[in-house]
Chains A and B, each alone.
Chain A
């Protein structure tokens, strides 16, 4: 039996190979994701460890509340004195390491896209693990060094001028050296070094440190020294050994990357789910075609278990093969993915690719598991073949068609799916478990639809086939008939495509909803004409920029908006601060309880809170709410009014004054600036006047009018959408492979029929056309049902969100384009099968066995 299995596999090697493709894509993404994230994590481990090579103990500020921009607080420089007094401390130094902007002499950014840039203080020799391949460390207040890779990317050389922007105006420095950190690459990150006092001034941290590095006397362990230091420092800082610090930093990176990992694995799961349909189909068809053979084996005395085993071993081997290839492809994909991330400006640090045993084991188990599970039902069906089948011409196995049972299962699954999705949406569970239960729900619903699908295929093919029959005459007619001949087969093939397209149309509709919701906020909430942003919408920009803009002719009002995340009643909430005098002119608040005068008259001890937060913490006007800062300090604010939280939380979940923001939460930079022009002032000339006013001192500020703002938001959403499309394309390609295999197998079954058609005068071209039409019919059934399902999902998920101001919009044009592209993809999928059908030897086809 075992030999027979191998022979069978070999005899059907093309089919087996195509079946393996169904898992190769998904497994490639699984393996690729692991390789990519493991590689990145390891690179970060190395960076952190190398940078702390000369350090034994590290002091940093505690962070009670995670900030959206990932920033950490600084702490008083006075701590250094206490630390230096500790017995066993050989040397200790304070340092600064903060985000900032590194510009060339023209004021243009040196980094690309989202890659972070840092301003760092220089370290004494003991702690400095960098090497300087060119030049030297800064020796004065107007000198700086830059990391080698960043300099190379930006084409800057030693002796050139660079500008650094922290919390104030851009400051020029002379580049006196290039820095290299050990053997690691920083990825897209750039670091500029200046002397400590300069760094403190640039980043607005005079009298503050981000970190104290400590070297121990010989004979004292890191742990011992850590404990001694911990005794003398205030409780808003944390003391760690260098190893602990490196581990913590690395695990924080790991955590922030885990989102990427989960997202990529989710797409892998989708591709595998689609692949399982393809595998199911191929095995079903193969089992049906081998009915006589199974019957013959049974007459020779083979038991049901033997038949079952032989089919399952086949699927095991195919799965194993697919997984191994998948791992290899995934390795290549990891390189590709990091190139993709690099292209969008999110280059990850990487040395050589890391393949952990976990990557291989998980990929093999999932790949073979998915293949075997998908082939299980066809395998069971093969055991139902009676010995008599060997003697009969056309036997249909499976006998009993358990319609009621099937329908019951489909309905049950559908309901479970809907309940899962619904309850998750209503309860508002977010993060991994929320996504998982929505995913599980969607899987249930999709399987339920697939069970019903064979019923729908016949009418669907008639409708979709109608224009094709008009167009293609006989070939169209035959194609339509062929697609209806075996509804289950067509249904599964189309269902695989449906899944991919449901997701494509879902994200398309959702993204367009996001865009239009953003537009709505811009239209409804921002009466000003101009918006200021840090370069690329990422970095905050100096507060001084607002003052500068307020001086410009034609500007009536301008307010900066700063953000900080705080804890209220244990929950994390983003809070904004504004300039009360001007804010109502540039930001339209919808009031729940209160009016614009509550905002203009806001004092430094008052807060306007959003209704969401008000509900969450049960606070109303006149109550006092306690905000816990990142450093863990508590500040009381009196609730002055309650506003409606806008859908993109432009004003966060609460508004305080700029003074309060700076005093209590130490935020000195604006994330956004809102500007209103004098009535009658020309937008064009005022915008360029604002640009001119900012260009010199504040080169990191982008000036956008409303149209540009909408465009920028839209292009950000579309950028993300494009990434998702690329990942969903994997699943779509797998389902197209499904069309290819199913067509080839069907053509193989219809050899004689095709031969007869050729014998009585059908040309190769006509045969090809017929196969193409059949593919198009299947593809369009999949596409249309996918679009319908996707739009319905988007609609359903949009319902609970509409309360937050999210409004769906239906990009009909895009959806039609997707439909046409899918039909074309069907034509593409038919190329090989059509050629195979046309090449068929007429003589062989009509020769009797």
Chain B
């Protein structure tokens, strides 16, 4: 069974990174009002790994993620995704990039209220006008544990279930990278655990690459690697040991 899962990439550190950012700067405003949200960040992400990004509020986590995903443009520096330079791309190329190579899970407002759970999951395929691979779809839905909730509307699902639908939607296209910005920020601990386990499982079982921004040490501890930002600078990059260890780290960051 497991062998039939087509992994997006083989986990191998020797390969070139799937996402590579060099000298990223992002400045908002000018003069007095100037804010350096990112101040020279160099970072790479290997295939098949689960990276958590942490840092105090306002440290630039979301900004970094947006830039890595081509949702925002850096003031300086360059970003490569899957070997392609994306900083100079126009809107339609970026749209295609997101459609074909990236997956997203947000904190809020993740689903279309007018579509059923299954339709929401299939949404990226519909947008791309691709025929869904039914076997894969069933597997994903089964994995997120929503087989009996397929035809429910989001309003009929709990917050945790909704977020699982969002994860399934992000997984269904087998993206090169899955970005998640505080995916558990709005959930209770049980639901958070479900969602994190899903992400972890995708990495372990199918070699999915995941980059997740989070505030929660427990969540960060699920990753293979922990990056921390402060005042727009990369200040920590190492495998997480435990949640307690992460809390300690956060204390030092202030």
Interface residues of A (CB under 8 A from B): 473-474, 478, 481-482, 484-485, 752-753, 756-764, 766, 842-843, 846-848
Contact = CB atoms under 8 A, between A and B. Distances in A.
A474 B109 contact: no
Contacts of B95: 758, 761-764
B142 interface: no
B225 interface: no
Most buried by A among B71, B91, B103, B110: B71
A474 B95 CA distance: 17
Given A758-B95, A763-B96, 13 more contacts: A478-B115, A753-B109, A753-B112, A756-B106, A756-B112, A757-B112, A757-B127, A760-B98, A761-B100, A761-B102, A761-B127, A842-B71, A846-B106
Given A482-B114, A847-B62, A759 B96 contact: no
A760 B107 contact: no
Nearest to A484: B114
28 contacts: A474-B123, A474-B126, A478-B114, A478-B115, A481-B114, A481-B115, A482-B114, A484-B114, A485-B113, A752-B108, A753-B113, A756-B106, A756-B109, A757-B127, A760-B103, A760-B123, A760-B127, A760-B169, A760-B170, A761-B96, A761-B124, A762-B127, A763-B92, A763-B96, A843-B66, A846-B106, A847-B62, A848-B107
B129 interface: yes
B58 to A, nearest CB: 13
Give the 10 A-B CB pairs with smallest separation, nearest first.
A761-B99, A481-B114, A474-B126, A752-B109, A761-B98, A763-B95, A762-B127, A843-B71, A760-B124, A759-B104
A773 to B, nearest CB: 13
B156 interface: no
Interface in B69-125: 71-72, 91-92, 95-96, 98-100, 102-104, 106-110, 112-115, 123-124
B61 to A, nearest CB: 12
A478 B112 contact: yes
Chain B interface size band reads 20 to 34
A629 to B, nearest CB: 75
Specify the main secondary structure of chain A where it touches its partner: helix
Interface string B149-170: 0000000000000000000011
A474 B112 CA distance: 12
B128 interface: yes
Contacts of B170: 760
B72 A843 contact: yes
Contacts of B96: 761, 763
A760 B99 contact: yes
A339 B198 CA distance: 73
Nearest to A482: B114
A612 B92 CA distance: 74
A470 to B, nearest CB: 14
A492 to B, nearest CB: 20
Contacts of B102: 761
Given A753-B112, A847-B62, A761 B126 contact: no
Contact of A759 (B71, B91, B112, B115): B71
A761 B99 CA distance: 4
Contact of B127 (A484, A766, A843): A766
A759 B169 CA distance: 12
Contacts of A762: 95, 99, 127
A766 to B, nearest CB: 7
Most buried by B among A482, A756, A760: A760
Nearest to B155: A394
Nearest to B99: A761
Contact of B110 (A756, A761, A763): A756
Contacts of B112: 478, 753, 756-757
A834 to B, nearest CB: 15
A848 B183 CA distance: 12
Nearest to B95: A763
Nearest to A762: B127
B129 to A, nearest CB: 7
A630 to B, nearest CB: 72
Contacts of A752: 108-109
B181 to A, nearest CB: 8
A847 B71 CA distance: 11
Contacts of A843: 66, 71-72
A824 B31 CA distance: 49
A73 to B, nearest CB: 74
B97 to A, nearest CB: 8
Contact of B71 (A478, A484, A846): A846
Most buried by B among A481, A482, A763: A763
Contacts of B98: 759-761
Contacts of A484: 114
Contacts of A757: 112, 123, 127
B182 to A, nearest CB: 8
Nearest to B101: A761
Most buried by B among A752, A759, A763: A759
Nearest to B104: A759
Nearest to B67: A843
A696 B176 CA distance: 92
A481 B129 CA distance: 19
Nearest to A394: B155
Nearest to A839: B91
A474 B127 contact: yes
Most buried by B among A473, A766, A846: A846
A206 B61 CA distance: 104
Contacts of B115: 478, 481
